[in-house]
Chain A
Amino acid sequence: MFEVFFSQVKDKVLISEQEQNLVKTFFSPKKIRKKQYLLQEGDVCKHLAFVEKGLLRSYSVDEKGTEHMIHFAWEGWWMADILSFLSVEPSTYFIDAIEESELLLISFQGFEEMLLKVPVMERYFRILFQNNIISKERRLIQSLAYSAEEKYLHLLANNPKLVQKIPQNLIASYLGITPETLSRIKRKITQ
């Protein structure tokens, strides 16, 4: 149940068996079905979710009902509305499962307590948050400066797994382009 989680943690920090056993007591295992919500707009995001198995997405919905993809998370990734989680304010996002998923959830209180009791996890999360800032900065630059084709090629080069696993309409939404434009770009590339 914690295999992927601890393999990911061990990639970044050294953690003892005893520390691992303590860390386990702060996480709630949760299985969710395809299309089931983990968070709905207007709710406070109460947990950070680690994906042991499956695939989640976060997105917002505009006034016209159009979904705008924000983030995807599969095995070994984290998912949350971090702004809502840390500020305890209602979220503007939805999080649901694209496929049946096995998650590990930690509450804000549990998170704080775990960082106090297992300091090595503080280092792990610092590295994680650093990487998250870098990735968000990159995405911002891409959305401002890249053409639709450049955005897709960048995604293909850096996240081929995402392109393989996720339906094309969701990828188009993630890139901020229409599905028709994405099809056109893909046709052009294969030619």
Chain B
Amino acid sequence: MQYNNIVAILGANSDVGQRIANSISGQYPVLLMDADKEALNKVQKAIQANNPAANITLLECSKEASWEADIVIIAVEKEAEQQLIAERINEFTTCKIVIQIRPENNSMQHLQHKLPYAKFMLVDWGNTAAIVEGKDEMALSVTGEIIHLCGLKPIFKKSLI
């Protein structure tokens, strides 16, 4: 038997959040977090229609989700929301992998400075590929696997962060 890392997707109702949730829920237990519970229920139902065995838990609090998770994905689309979430989850993500998703053609600021003790990864989301940036070897490998499961090609970039 193998322990599967629990992945929290913060902003699971966003386009990218839904895609990630749909793609990885066969592989990882997932915690879906978003403010709109009704929309979140729909996302859960859609995933479980394709994969009834998917292990999905819904949460409305980013702190709780980050506390329970081993890997945290920040998939909210607005920069201000990303910054706010990073401040909220900082103390719950020490030594955990935190993946910031930057939507295509979006130059929002990275969150490394707000999450100084996390294994921080920045992902620039594209149509067919995603650029993955970060320092920790193990976190790079895990992030690459998640990107691959989403059907994108991970391109690893030497970290400038």
Chain A positions within 8 Å of B, measured between CB atoms, are 1, 24-33, 37-43, 102, 105-107, 110
Contact = CB atoms under 8 A, between A and B. Distances in A.
Interface stretch (B92-100, B105-113, B152-160): B92-100
B2 A42 contact: yes
A33 B59 CA distance: 14
Interface of B: 1-3, 64, 67-68, 70, 91-92, 94-96, 117
Contact of B95 (A28, A43, A102): A28
Nearest to A110: B95
Given A24-B94, A29-B67, 6 more contacts: A25-B117, A30-B70, A31-B68, A38-B3, A42-B1, A43-B1
A38 B64 CA distance: 18
Contact of B3 (A26, A43, A105): A43
A10 B96 CA distance: 26
A33 B68 CA distance: 8
B94 A37 contact: no
A106 B67 CA distance: 15
Contact of A28 (B2, B3, B64, B94): B94
A38 B1 CA distance: 12
Contacts of B64: 31
A126 B67 CA distance: 29
B67 A40 contact: no
Given A25-B117, A29-B67, A31-B64, A43 B94 contact: no
A105 B70 CA distance: 11
A107 B68 contact: no
B117 A29 contact: no
21 contacts: A24-B94, A25-B94, A25-B95, A26-B94, A26-B95, A28-B94, A28-B95, A29-B67, A29-B94, A30-B68, A30-B70, A31-B64, A31-B68, A38-B3, A39-B3, A40-B3, A41-B1, A42-B1, A42-B2, A43-B3, A106-B95
The 5 closest A-B pairs by CB, nearest first: A28-B95, A40-B1, A31-B67, A25-B117, A31-B68
Contacts of A43: 1-3
